[in-house]
């Protein structure tokens, strides 16, 4: 056990009171370390909330706020780009169709204007667009580390530039650092844009610099961790898989549905996390004469961008049967989300084409006491994690007929029979955040305890 004088720096753009889902992992870890006698100094934007420097967020958790740099011109450019991407497109008549997936721009002939525009944004977003914030965070971490005599730094991403900040600050302070990769870094770029070879080489070089200097590397994905080790076997001993988990108590199961099918997706719609296959299958379901559409509701709550913006979703729904059962809501407060979860009979998890990641909502949903519909490829890590858990229906979106049959089965059970299948508590308990925090504590102890002390510890002797 560490002493009360031990202090660790935690660099994370997202931290309580931010409502970003990434903040839950870092916030829970900070509280756990503090409860175990470790002072935690958090360098964060704190969701752009007014946090006083040096204030105590929780007992033993001190805040060092770093404001997000203002970027009015960039925000304007991004807004204009989103407006351009959000223009409604014509929909085809007859059988519901699924819009094509977004593809790598380099695979298609592009105009000079588009090439220059995309090149500008790719340069601007190289690594990510939090680089300036991370530079400020690194300098704040160095000052805080000297003031509090920190013994280690833990930096968490995405965004991934804070990982660079953590490595640089640790080098300046002469202390070890832990790189916590909540999502893969260079491998996401390689998977999504395989033709961006030069950009990938640059990102890989930065990633390798961080990993080689880290005393430990933690990843939420076993697949992503294996790829890191495959590229550099020398880091194998310091790579640890520490998954996300649920934070709250396991909710009472909702077994009786009241004769309704209410599906809720609460989260961001972006990149390849697409709702269109489900909507197309729902349209097919509603064409059946035995289906009562008044007993069905599908709600999308949260951020929507690009091909999944509210305008494009509304355009796709226009003139279709399912338009009357679909609700499209903007991001809501945590209390409003909780109310929607309480009213839902099925929680929707969209994890398509995320072979290297496990959405954090996967674990939160398991503890919500609701049946879960997981749409993802059969061979991805998310599907493997939930395999065999009763109450989780996993389906690949590639076959709309199969997806429609899944919705028909949900309808027959929730609407006709009035019952739902919910994950059992014994299947859920092993995904508690407490287990993740215990592993983090063990990793932290391993990098801050002198080798001689480790050799003389009871665990090492016995």
What's the mean pLDDT in 211-235?
A: 96
pLDDT tier for residue 450 given thresholds of 50, 70 and 90 = low
pLDDT tier for residue 452 given thresholds of 50, 70 and 90 = very low
Do 325 and 363 fall into the same domain?
yes
Give the per-residue SS3 of the chain: CCCCCCEEEEEECCCCCCCCCHHHHHHHHHHHHHHCCCEEEEEECHHHCCCCCCCEEECCEEEEECCCCCCHHHHHHHHHHHHHHCCCCCCCCCCCCCCCCCCCHHHCCCCHHHHHHHHHHHHHCCCCCCHHHHHHHHHHHHHHHHHHCCCEEEEEECCCHHHHHHHHHHHHHCCCEEEEECCCCHHHHHHHCCCCHHHHHHHHHHHHHHHHHCCEEEECCHHHHHHHHHHCHHHHHHEEECCCCECCCCCCCCCECCCCEEEEEECCECCCCCCHHHHHHHHHHHCCCCCCHHHEEEEEECCECHHHCHHHHHHHHCCCHHHHCEEEECCCCHHHHHHHHHHCCEEEEECCCCCCCCCCHHHHHHCCCCEEEEECCCCCHHHHHHCCCCCEEEECCCCHHHHHHHHHHHHHHHHHCCECCCCCHHHHHHHEHHHHHHHHHHHHHHHHCCHHHHHHCHHHHC
What pLDDT does 88 receive?
45
Residue-range definition of the domain harbouring residue 301: 261-429
Encode pLDDT of 86-103 as tens digits: 454 444 444 566 655 544
How many Å apart are CA 52 and CA 199, to the nearest integer? 39
Do 346 and 415 fall into the same domain?
yes
Pick the range with the lowest mean pLDDT from 36-50, 331-345, 399-413.
Answer: 331-345
Please state, as a whole number, how many other Cβ atoms lie within 10 Å of the Cβ of residue 367. 21
What's the mean pLDDT in 45-58?
A: 95
| pTM of the complete model beyond 0.85 | no
Q: Looking at residue 150, which CATH number applies to its domain?
A: 3.40.50.2000
Pick the range with the lowest mean pLDDT from 66-75, 201-210, 305-314.
Answer: 66-75
What pLDDT does 71 receive?
63
How many Å apart are CA 339 and CA 341, to the nearest integer? 5
pLDDT tier for residue 112 given thresholds of 50, 70 and 90 = low
How many Å apart are CA 419 and CA 422, to the nearest integer? 10
Q: Look at residue 112 and tell me if it is in a domain.
A: no
Do 195 and 298 fall into the same domain?
no
Do 227 and 316 fall into the same domain?
no
Angle at 382 between CA 377 and CA 388, to 5 degrees: 95
Most confident of 9-13, 73-77, 80-84, 86-90: 9-13
What's the mean pLDDT in 164-178?
A: 97
pLDDT tier for residue 151 given thresholds of 50, 70 and 90 = very high
Regarding beta strands 152-157 and 177-181, do their DSSP bridges make them parallel or antiparallel, or are they unpaired?
parallel
pLDDT tier for residue 462 given thresholds of 50, 70 and 90 = very low
Do 286 and 424 fall into the same domain?
yes
Q: Which of 86, 77, 99, 106 is nearest to 192 (CA)?
A: 106
Q: Look at residue 75 and tell me if it is in a domain.
A: no
Q: Look at residue 334 and tell me if it is in a domain.
A: yes
Do 225 and 274 fall into the same domain?
no
pLDDT tier for residue 324 given thresholds of 50, 70 and 90 = very high
**Contact, 26 vs 12, CB < 8 A?**
yes
Query: What sign has the CA pseudo-torsion 413, 419, 420, 423?
Result: negative
Do 231 and 299 fall into the same domain?
no
Q: Look at residue 449 and tell me if it is in a domain.
A: yes
Do 305 and 404 fall into the same domain?
yes
Q: Look at residue 11 and tell me if it is in a domain.
A: yes
What's the mean pLDDT in 5-15?
A: 93
- Please count the structural domains in the chain: 2
Do 277 and 198 fall into the same domain?
no
Q: Look at residue 39 and tell me if it is in a domain.
A: yes
pLDDT at 361 over 80: yes
Encode pLDDT of 226-281 as tens digits: 999 999 999 999 999 999 999 989 999 999 999 999 999 998 887 678 899 999 99
Helices 197-213 & 161-173 angle (0-180, nearest 10): 40
Q: Look at residue 322 and tell me if it is in a domain.
A: yes
Please state, as a whole number, how many other Cβ atoms lie within 10 Å of the Cβ of residue 408. 16
pLDDT tier for residue 331 given thresholds of 50, 70 and 90 = confident
Do 295 and 321 fall into the same domain?
yes
Do 56 and 166 fall into the same domain?
yes
pLDDT tier for residue 453 given thresholds of 50, 70 and 90 = very low
Residue bearing the bigger pLDDT, 333 or 410: 410
Q: Note the residue count of the chain.
A: 462
Do 314 and 272 fall into the same domain?
yes
Q: Look at residue 122 and tell me if it is in a domain.
A: no
């Amino acid at each position: 056990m560490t002493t009360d004088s031990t202090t660790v720096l935690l660099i994370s753009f997202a931290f309580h009171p931010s409502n970003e889902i990434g903040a839950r992992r870092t916030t829970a870890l900070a509280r756990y370390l503090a409860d175990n006698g470790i002072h935690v100094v958090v360098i964060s934007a704190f969701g752009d909330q007014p946090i006083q420097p040096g204030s105590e967020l929780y007992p033993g958790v001190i805040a060092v706020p770093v404001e997000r740099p203002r970027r009015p011109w960039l925000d304007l450019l991004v807004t204009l780009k989103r407006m351009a991407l959000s223009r409604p497109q014509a929909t085809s008549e007859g059988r519901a169709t699924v819009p094509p997936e977004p593809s790598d721009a380099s695979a298609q002939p592009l105009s000079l204007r588009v090439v220059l525009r995309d090149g500008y944004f790719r340069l601007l977003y190289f690594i990510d667009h939090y680089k300036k914030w991370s530079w400020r965070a690194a300098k704040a971490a160095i000052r805080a580390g000297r003031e509090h005599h920190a013994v280690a730094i833990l930096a968490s991403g995405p965004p991934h530039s804070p990982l660079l900040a953590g490595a640089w600050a640790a080098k300046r302070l002469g202390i070890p650092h832990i790189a916590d990769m909540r999502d893969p870094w260079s491998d996401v770029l390689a998977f999504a844009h395989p033709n961006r070879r030069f950009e990938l080489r640059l990102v890989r070089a930065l990633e390798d610099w961080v990993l080689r200097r880290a005393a430990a590397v933690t990843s939420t994905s076993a697949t992503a961790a294996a790829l890191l080790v495959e590229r550099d076997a020398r880091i194998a001993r310091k790579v640890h898989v520490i998954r996300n988990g649920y934070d709250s108590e396991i909710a009472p199961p909702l077994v009786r549905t009241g004769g309704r099918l209410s599906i809720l997706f609460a989260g961001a719609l972006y990149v390849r996390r697409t709702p269109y296959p489900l909507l197309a299958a729902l349209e097919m379901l509603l064409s059946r004469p035995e289906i009562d559409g008044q007993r069905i509701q599908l709600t999308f709550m949260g951020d929507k961008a690009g091909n999944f913006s509210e305008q494009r979703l509304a355009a796709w729904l226009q003139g279709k049967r399912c338009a009357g059962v679909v609700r499209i809501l903007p991001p809501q407060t945590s209390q409003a989300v909780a109310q929607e979860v309480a009213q839902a009979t099925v929680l929707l998890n969209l994890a398509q084409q995320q072979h290297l990641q496990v959405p954090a909502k996967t674990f939160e949903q398991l503890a919500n006491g609701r049946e879960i519909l997981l749409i993802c490829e059969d061979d991805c890590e998310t599907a493997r994690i939930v395999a065999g858990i009763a109450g989780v229906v996993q389906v690949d979106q590639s076959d709309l007929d199969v997806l429609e049959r899944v919705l028909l089965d949900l309808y027959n059970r929730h609407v006709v029979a009035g019952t739902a299948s919910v994950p059992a508590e014994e299947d859920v308990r092993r995904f508690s955040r407490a287990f993740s925090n215990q592993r983090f504590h063990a990793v932290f102890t391993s990098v801050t305890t002198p080798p001689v002390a480790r050799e003389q510890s009871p665990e090492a002797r016995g």
